């Protein structure tokens, strides 16, 4: 990507109080780029944080200035929508380590005056949440009505609930896991290897050298993308249909629509994402293991919690399958938590949480309504 991340049209919170990271080092000048929708009410009780996924950003319900496309959760968040911005104040922050304005590997390292690159510290999901907590404190919000997120967003939700139980009323982790499995790590490792194998990655110094590992990042994105869709959805969407031709070409061009689609996904991703950010964020996800971080079992972490949970999974999701989500439900139930669980019948794969799934929308709307009634909003 070739965009100055500090010039994106959104809000910025800057904090010069060092942020202590899980690896023991600090971020001395923290920037959190964020978008907000709706209005914070007088007693600041209607705030909801939505945590984005690996390739997501803060532009969840507004036009993305890089792609000029609608926000990635436009369907879910807005006036009259399940997360109703007429009622709630919705915040979405670019994650720490990201490349859309929050401090990350493309930011200037205050101690050298140059981009961090690979000198950026390896961060964790808990570091991301701590950066968001700083933003919430800055906004003087004592208690969030809800913390919501899918995929990596769901990991942040779990971390929020584990680390700041008194700061949140409800939590909605969606299509996620309490720790990355070997298969999850494996797919991320493929992407990282593809990036680092690209000579234009230049040992991580591509900004300085003036190159960009487009090919590597593109392959990483293609790999991830295949894991976001189910076999059934790929078959329905593409099958063995050919792209702009009647017969196979007996060559290595994109004969099949699925090839052409994946190449397009890869090529467009490099315009909006930074390769080193991709390394850091996937690493944070791989390191995610709630029990290990908190040195307790899942049940113990959430024992007697007051937080109300809604957990949602999708039957066609093989990346963070229902079984992974159900594991969290069971642990919460065992600890006496107030937990609702919906397993949505869908053949859309992991991406289902971003797509048209009316049953899911209904569950979200119903749960958030009931929480807001309880909170007297």
Given candidates 28, 29, 189, 361, which one binds a second copy under the rule CB under 8 A?
189
Q: Which is nearer to a second copy, 84 or 127 (CB)?
A: 127
Given candidates 149, 153, 154, 216, which one binds a second copy under the rule CB under 8 A?
216
CB of 257 to a second copy, least distance (A): 8
CB of 235 to a second copy, least distance (A): 5
The yes or no reply on residue 287 touching a second copy (CB under 8 A) is: yes
Q: Are strands 114-115 and 108-109 parallel, antiparallel or unpaired?
A: antiparallel
Given candidates 40, 66, 122, 377, which one binds a second copy under the rule CB under 8 A?
122
CA 161 from centroid of its chain's CA atoms:
16
Instruction: Identify the sign of the CA torsion 260, 261, 265, 271.
Output: positive
The CA distance from 69 to 52, in Å, is 16
The yes or no reply on residue 275 touching a second copy (CB under 8 A) is: no
Given candidates 79, 119, 166, 235, which one binds a second copy under the rule CB under 8 A?
235
CB of 185 to a second copy, least distance (A): 5
CB of 81 to a second copy, least distance (A): 32
**Stretch near a second copy under the rule CB under 8 A, chosen from 33-41, 159-167, 230-238, 359-367:** 230-238
**Stretch near a second copy under the rule CB under 8 A, chosen from 67-75, 151-159, 218-226, 336-344:** 218-226
Given candidates 29, 65, 163, 256, which one binds a second copy under the rule CB under 8 A?
256
Whether the Cβ atoms of residue 222 and residue 228 lie closer than 8 Å to each other: no
Can you state the angle between helices 275-287 and 214-228, rounded to 10 degrees? 40
The CA distance from 144 to 24, in Å, is 28
Which residue stretches of the chain are H helix?
125-138, 152-163, 182-197, 206-209, 214-228, 231-237, 257-269, 275-287, 290-294, 298-301, 322-334, 358-374
Given candidates 105, 121, 150, 153, which one binds a second copy under the rule CB under 8 A?
121
In the range 30-89, which residues lie near a second copy by CB under 8 A?
Answer: none
The CA distance from 93 to 50, in Å, is 8
The yes or no reply on residue 182 touching a second copy (CB under 8 A) is: yes
Instruction: Identify the sign of the CA torsion 95, 98, 102, 107.
Output: positive
Read off the tokens for 159.
Answer: 């971390």
Given candidates 66, 190, 326, 375, which one binds a second copy under the rule CB under 8 A?
190
The yes or no reply on residue 19 touching a second copy (CB under 8 A) is: no
Q: What is the DSSP string of 239-304?
A: TT-BSS-SS--SSSS--BHHHHHHHHHHHHHTTT--HHHHHHHHHHHHH-BHHHHHTS-HHHHTTT
Q: What residue ranges bind a second copy (CB under 8 A)? A: 22-23, 121-122, 179-183, 185-187, 189-190, 192-194, 196-199, 215-216, 218-219, 222-223, 226, 229, 231, 234-235, 237-240, 248, 250-252, 254-259, 262-263, 266, 279, 283, 286-287, 289, 292, 318, 321
């Amino acid at each position: 990507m070739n965009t100055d991340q500090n010039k994106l049209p959104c809000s910025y919170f800057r904090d010069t109080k060092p942020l202590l990271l899980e690896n023991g080092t600090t971020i001395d000048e923290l920037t959190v780029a964020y978008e907000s929708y709706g209005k914070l009410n007088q007693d600041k009780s209607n705030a909801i944080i939505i945590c984005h996924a690996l390739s997501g950003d803060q532009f969840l319900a507004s036009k993305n200035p890089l792609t000029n496309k609608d926000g990635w959760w436009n369907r879910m968040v807005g006036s009259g929508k399940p997360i109703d911005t007429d009622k709630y104040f919705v915040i979405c922050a670019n994650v720490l380590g990201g490349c859309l304005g929050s401090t990350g590997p493309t930011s200037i390292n205050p101690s050298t005056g140059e981009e961090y690159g690979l000198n950026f510290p390896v961060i964790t999901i808990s570091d991301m949440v701590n950066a968001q907590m700083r933003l919430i404190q800055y906004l003087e919000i004592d208690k969030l009505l809800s913390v919501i997120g899918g995929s990596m967003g769901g990991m942040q939700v779990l971390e929020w609930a584990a680390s700041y139980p008194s700061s949140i009323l409800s939590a909605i982790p969606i299509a996620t896991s309490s720790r990355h499995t070997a298969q999850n790590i494996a797919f991320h490792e493929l992407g990282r290897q593809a990036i680092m194998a690209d000579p234009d990655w230049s040992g991580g110094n591509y900004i300085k050298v003036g190159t960009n590992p487009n090919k590597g990042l593109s392959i990483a994105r293609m790999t991830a993308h295949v894991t976001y869709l189910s076999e059934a959805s790929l078959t329905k969407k593409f099958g063995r249909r050919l792209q702009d031709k009647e017969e196979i070409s007996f060559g290595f061009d994109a004969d099949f629509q699925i090839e052409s689609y994946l190449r397009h996904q890869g090529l467009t991703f490099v315009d909006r994402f930074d390769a080193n950010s991709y390394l850091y964020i996937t690493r944070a996800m791989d390191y995610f293991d709630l029990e290990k971080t908190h040195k307790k079992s899942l049940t113990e972490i959430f024992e007697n919690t007051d937080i109300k949970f809604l957990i949602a999974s999708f039957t066609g999701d093989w990346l963070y399958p229902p079984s992974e989500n159900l594991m969290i439900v069971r642990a919460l139930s065992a600890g006496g938590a107030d937990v609702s669980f919906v397993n949505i019948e869908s053949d859309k794969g992991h991406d289902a949480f971003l797509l048209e799934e009316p049953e899911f929308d209904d569950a979200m709307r119903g749960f958030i309504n009931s929480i807001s009634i309880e909170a007297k909003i």
